[in-house]
Amino acid sequence: KNQVEQSPQSLIILEGKNCTLQCNYTVSPFSNLRWYKQDTGRGPVSLTIMTFSENTKSNGRYTATLDADTKQSSLHITASQLSDSASYICVVTFKAAGNKLTFGGGTRVLVKP
């Protein structure tokens, strides 16, 4: 069964600090892996998208990495800001699942001043 697991479930960091979120997936091959940011009360917004052959992708202070051998991805947030407080969701598109999206449970990040 295709699964996407994220860790930690939640974390608190101080403004200005860096943090890294983890995403592990089972079953391959996949079409792509995305990281979404979801602010409270709003829909998810895409941060990065990577195909199987890519191992890093940046979007401002957000950098996603992908290791297809270990089936792991990470999202690194540099110099966190209060506006980074949100849930971050790892989403994998598995070819075997008809290219439907499979969502991780998300990591809730709280940035404190």
Partner 1 sequence: DAGVIQSPRHEVTEMGQEVTLRCKPISGHNSLFWYRQTMMRGLELLIYFNNNVPIDDSGMPEDRFSAKMPNASFSTLKIQPSEPRDSAVYFCASSYLAGGNEQYFGPGTRLTVT
For partner 1, the binding residues (CB under 8 A) are 31-32, 41-46, 49, 89, 93, 98-101, 103-106
Residue 103: CB minimum distance to partner 1, A: 4
Residues in Cβ contact with 55 at an 8 Å cutoff, skipping those fewer than 6 apart = 65, 66, 67, 68
- DSSP 3-state assignment of 83? helix
Q: Which is nearer to partner 1, 16 or 105 (CB)?
A: 105
Residue 70: CB minimum distance to partner 1, A: 23
Nearest Cα neighbor of 75 from 31, 28, 33 is 33
Residue 87: CB minimum distance to partner 1, A: 10
